[in-house]
Amino acid sequence: MQNSIIDLDKLHTTELGEVRIKRNLSIQADDVVLWCKEFVKQADIIIGQGKNLYAYKNGVVITINAKSNTIITAHPINAKVRLMRTSDYLCLPEFLYQAIFIPEGVEPPYRSMVNHPQIFVYIKDFGTRPGDLGVVAESKGRVIGAAWTRIIHAYGHINDETPELAISLLPEFRGYGIGTKLMKKLFGVLRANGYVQTSLSVQKDNPAIEFYKRLGYRIVEEKLDHEGNEDFIMIKKLK
Ligand SMILES: CC(C)(COP(=O)(O)OP(=O)(O)OC[C@H]1O[C@@H](n2cnc3c(N)ncnc32)[C@H](O)[C@@H]1OP(=O)(O)O)[C@@H](O)C(=O)NCCC(=O)NCCS
């Protein structure tokens, strides 16, 4: 809950705003402003961007004009997926960190864990090697997810012609189809660059395995990683 930057008492909307919010979210609430106040109170995250504040929860984003406290609109999160740019490389440590699997009830690892050589190899000097390809998802001008490949001797290495994939989204954006969009876009980029398959490594307990299977990955090997975790190596044929 992060409502301290919005003055809930001053929140209001216009007639048009009310119509837009009801239509976009298919809600029947009698008092849309009250509905939005409750939403903002419970929001997972509230972000200021330009003149607006964006409150996120359950795959929905509410847009509020920060100065006037007007609720402008609300709609399901809709991320734009595009090629990774050089300027996006700065986000890679964050998405590498977010890609680390944290089983339920386990404390998140220190951020510095990404500096471990066997992990850092996924982003070190990204953009300088053949097979360094990436896509990002952007919401309200902010990069909220990334998927990228490299040909490196890391956990999911198969051979020197098979780029290994890594993917993650910021936690509040998971489970709304954005990861699927990122993967499909990246498969297209890989095909366009002449690659015929892509690999990855995933911990056996990670629910992402089902996500990968749905996207056409098959388990080809089981391995232990440097911490003794059991991993599956998976391959997706691109033809
Ligand atoms: C894995 C991940 C990229 C999928 O993207 P997404 O947008 O959440 O996925 P989609 O909405 O397109 O597809 C939903 C599927 O993703 C998987 N998924 C959803 N939330 C997840 C989460 N928090 N962690 C892992 N996988 C998740 C599930 O298989 C889900 O299928 P289900 O709805 O039938 O349970 C994203 O959830 C994520 O960043 N997870 C944490 C990082 C991670 O595990 N990366 C992979 C390391 S190998």
Our count of domains for the chain comes to: 2
Domain boundary among 25, 59, 76: 76
Q: Does 131 lie in the same domain as 41?
A: no
pLDDT surpasses 60 at 201? yes
Q: Does 54 lie in the same domain as 118?
A: no
pLDDT surpasses 90 at 110? yes
Q: In what helix (H) or strand (E) does residue 33 lie, and over which residues does it extend?
A: helix 32-42
User: CB under 8 Å to 203, separation ≥6 — which residues?
Assistant: 101, 225, 229, 230, 231, 232
Residues at CB less than 6 angstroms from ligand 1? 98-99, 101, 167-169, 174-180, 202, 206-208, 210-211
Tens digit of each residue's pLDDT (9 = 90 or more) over 137-186: 999 889 999 999 999 999 999 999 999 999 999 998 999 999 999 999 99
Q: In what helix (H) or strand (E) does residue 39 lie, and over which residues does it extend?
A: helix 32-42
Q: Does 112 lie in the same domain as 223?
A: yes
Task: Say if CB 133 and CB 187 are below 8 A apart.
Answer: no
Q: Does 85 lie in the same domain as 28?
A: no
Position 219 in a domain? yes
pLDDT surpasses 50 at 2? no
**Domain span at 99:** 80-237
Domain at 224, CATH number: 3.40.630.30
Task: Say if CB 233 and CB 200 are below 8 A apart.
Answer: yes
Domain boundary among 76, 103, 129: 76
Tell me the whole-structure pTM to 2 decimals: 0.89
Return the best residue to mutate from 174, 185, 202 for the ligand 1 pocket (most ligand atoms within 8 A of CB): 174
Closest residue to atom 39 of ligand 1, CA basis? 168
The per-residue pLDDT for 49 is 86
Task: Say if CB 61 and CB 73 are below 8 A apart.
Answer: no
Residue 99 to residue 168: CA distance in whole angstroms: 5
How far, in Å, is the centroid of ligand 1 from the Cα of 55? 21
Q: Does 113 lie in the same domain as 200?
A: yes
Q: Does 67 lie in the same domain as 97?
A: no
